Every structure is written in C-alpha cells, then in structure tokens.
Amino acid sequence: MASDLSDIGALHVRDLGEVQYLPTCQAMQDFTAQRGPDTPDELWLCQHPPVFTQGLAGRDEHLLVAGDIPMVRTNRGGQITYHGPGQILAYPLLDLKRRGFFVKELVYRLEGAVIKTLLHFGLTGHRVAGAAGVYLQIDDPRGHARLPQRPTRPTAGAALPKPVFDGLGKVAALGIKVSRHCSYHGVALNVAMDLSPYQRINPCGHAGLKTVDLSTMGVQVGVTEVAHVLSQKLADQLAPRI
C-alpha cells in the first residue's frame, strides 16, 4: 500500500491518501498479525470513498436505507457509522503493552487528541457519558460551558448511564480492535463532507443522533491541515506511559 512516511515522536506516520476501506482493514490486520515485539508503532491517516461500516456489536436495524452506498461488516468495536471524502481517518497501530495502557485508556486518549485538535481550530469538543466519541454543542460550538451529560466518576455497582445528546452533534466516532495487546482501527473526524448519508443510519446505534463536521460549525479548513494537527495531538496523547 503506497504511502508517505514520516516520524512524529515514537510513531511512524503514513499518509495513505484516499483508499478503499476493505483493503485498508486487511492491511491493518496483516500488520498486526505479523508484527513482533520490536516492530515500531504506526499511525495511518487516510480518507475512504463512501461506505457504511458496522462493528461487532452492530445491529442490522440501524442501517435504515443503504441505497448506493456499500455496507461492510468489520471486526472493530461499536455499531454502524459512515465514512466518506472530507473525513479524516486516523488508525493507530500500537503495542499497548509496550506503551503501558489498555483499551479504555486508549479510547480516552484518542478522544483527548480529537478534543485538542478541535481546540486548535477554535471549537470545544466534549465527551458524553455512556457514548464514546467527541461531540460539539450545535448552538455554541466555541463555548466552554461544561456539559451536564459529561462523564463523571462512576459509583460502584451503578449501571452505565444512558447517553443524552440534547443540543449536541457528533463530530468524531471511535472504533477499536485489540489483538495480542496490539490495537488497530481508530478514530474518524468529520472535516468538510457530505453529511446526508448519516440520515440513512442510526449513527453509532443511536436513533436521531445528529452528526456535524468542522465546516457546518463554521470552520473552513482542509482535510490535510486537520490531519497534520490531529497527528501531532495523537503523538502527544499516545505517548508511552513512563
């Protein structure tokens, strides 16, 4: 798979350009299966042609109308989402044991990198209790007010909270796979894309969840510039635990 390779910190960064989803997934699986204890970690950046993808927990009823967009079942976590031009995919292929953290912390760090990327462009990203990903307040995407539905320290024995998306739009989705302590798949950040395909699905399994991108939130910026900032923030957030 052709790519431009650079290094940021302890990550080899590959810019794959626009590539088909299925061959990219297979390449990630092959890389993970073949890597050894000294294989350097990599970060793959790319865009995909229009495609719906459904994770291991996905339910068929969340695909409302496929139309002319293919749907691919994949081995990542999570439900159904959409990928298309104008969205940057960041796939960290990490040896988590070597870096010193597990999958829940990986998700938290990925969200943190997206939040810091959004802040770089003047937007305030948020986490929502019970729902992985990053969200923006639609009516005030630059405001810093804390969300009432933000994650809080869980009470022992308490059930997981039901996510509340009032006033929010999802700007980044996450889906991870871990094999032999090594991660692949990753995070999708919406930059400037056709958002209408999200109306054909229940995004991430949530009926009525609104989806936004940087463009609809008033930030006119290219995917290449966002990918550059995101890769820097990911390198910082995914640094090995000392």
Residues with catalytic roles: 204
Please report where in the chains the tokens 């871990």 appear, as a residue. 178
**Which CA distances in Å does 5 have to 8, 12, 45?**
10, 7, 10
**Secondary structure E strands in 21-137:** 42-47, 51-54, 71-73, 80-83, 87-95, 126-128, 131-137
Distance CA 238, CA 224 (A): 21
* Contact criterion met (CB below 8 Å) for 209 and 171: no
Q: Give 211's strand partners.
A: 170
Is the sign of the CA dihedral 64, 70, 75, 77 positive or negative?
negative
Neighbours of 180 (CB within 10 A): 10
Is the sign of the CA dihedral 115, 13, 232, 241 positive or negative?
positive
Task: Give the dihedral of Cα atoms 103, 106, 107, 109; nearest 10 deg.
Answer: 160
